[in-house]
Copies of this chain bind each other. A is one copy, B any other.
Amino acid sequence: MATITDKEKIREASCQEELVAMRDSIEILGGKWKLRIMRYLANRIAQKNHFKKILREIDGISAKMLAKELKDLEINLLITRTVQETKPIMVEYAITEYGKTVLPVTETLVQWGLNHRQRIKE
């Protein structure tokens, strides 16, 4: 039992890599709002999503947090911000192609949340 095979070493190393990868994901996508915003935008991909609309429709978020989280997401190239030169200026937010790669994450979280709620009921 004291001997550790190479196979075990390799397996151990890949496990550590997984944990590092998760740390990275959590750093970028973690927090109370980022994934909820991403999901919101993904659900309304055909619509014009401007600031006040998102603010109204994501329950509980404040203007300050929304502004900050949108900035963070834009920096990480997950969403785009485009200013429309309309009379009352409008800013449109949209998910990028790269941003769509986080949708599997939101999907599993939605499914788990629904399932968990069901389980609590019983």
Which residue numbers of A lie inside 8 Å of B, CB to CB? Answer: 15-26, 28-32, 35-36, 39-40, 43-44, 58-59, 98, 101-102, 104-117, 119
Contacts and interface: CB of A to CB of B under 8 A. Distances in A.
A116 B28 CA distance: 10
Nearest to A57: B16
A104 B113 contact: no
Contact of A112 (B25, B43, B115, B119): B25
Given A18-B39, A30-B30, A102 B113 contact: no
Contacts of A21: 109-114, 117
A108 B113 contact: no
A119 B100 CA distance: 14
A43 to B, nearest CB: 5
Nearest to A33: B26
